[in-house]
A and B are shown apart, each in its own frame.
Chain A
């Protein structure tokens, strides 16, 4: 079974750093892009960026460029999303998702989500 398992919920203070993870299994992790998607409370889905673990090629949405860092360690089939200085506005659910590109683009499967709460 192809699946992505994310790290657990986090509660942080503004200004703190954070790195959340997403481990893939059941497929060749290096051969598919892994994307990150934000969902703020009560709001829609926002594509943040994507990484290709095979060569670490990374692309960021202009809205998130410079705000977060996406990385991956293919040796342990894990992708990461990190912040150097969290803000209260980073409070959201974050999903990782396997992205297929080629004849058609699709996002599947999705991780279960990591809830990040930033509050003083």
Chain B
């Protein structure tokens, strides 16, 4: 079982804002990073740290963290954002990494 918990599925209307959350005790000590995976493709890093978005990732993707919860927010979701999203962080030992179970985002 994963030490990071994500909602299995979330939906959002086109152009609206959606927040995908990731919960885990280790998030009180370590930042999360976020990955987008579309069917048949390798995952892609979309956000990490407190404010960091890799080049090429639209600025509608943002991240935040509070207590034991990290969040990825998509402001003005587009059809191409429909994908699986995974959070990642270190485990409680700090020596290993773990992924959340993933959230399937549907854009209506």
Contacts and interface: CB of A to CB of B under 8 A. Distances in A.
B88 interface: yes
Nearest to B93: A62
A44 B90 contact: no
Contacts of B33: 104-107
Interface stretch (A7-15, A23-31, A78-86, A109-117): A109-117
Contact of A47 (B31, B49, B50, B97): B97
Interface string B28-46: 0011010101000011110
B95 interface: yes
B21 interface: no
B30 to A, nearest CB: 7
Interface size, A (range): 20 to 34
Interface in A69-111: 95, 97, 99, 103-111
A51 to B, nearest CB: 13
Contact of B96 (A44, A45, A59, A111): A59
Contacts of A97: 43
13 contacts: A37-B99, A45-B35, A45-B102, A104-B31, A104-B48, A104-B49, A104-B50, A105-B30, A105-B33, A105-B88, A105-B90, A110-B42, A111-B42
Given A45-B35, A45-B99, 6 more contacts: A37-B99, A45-B86, A60-B96, A104-B33, A104-B49, A105-B90
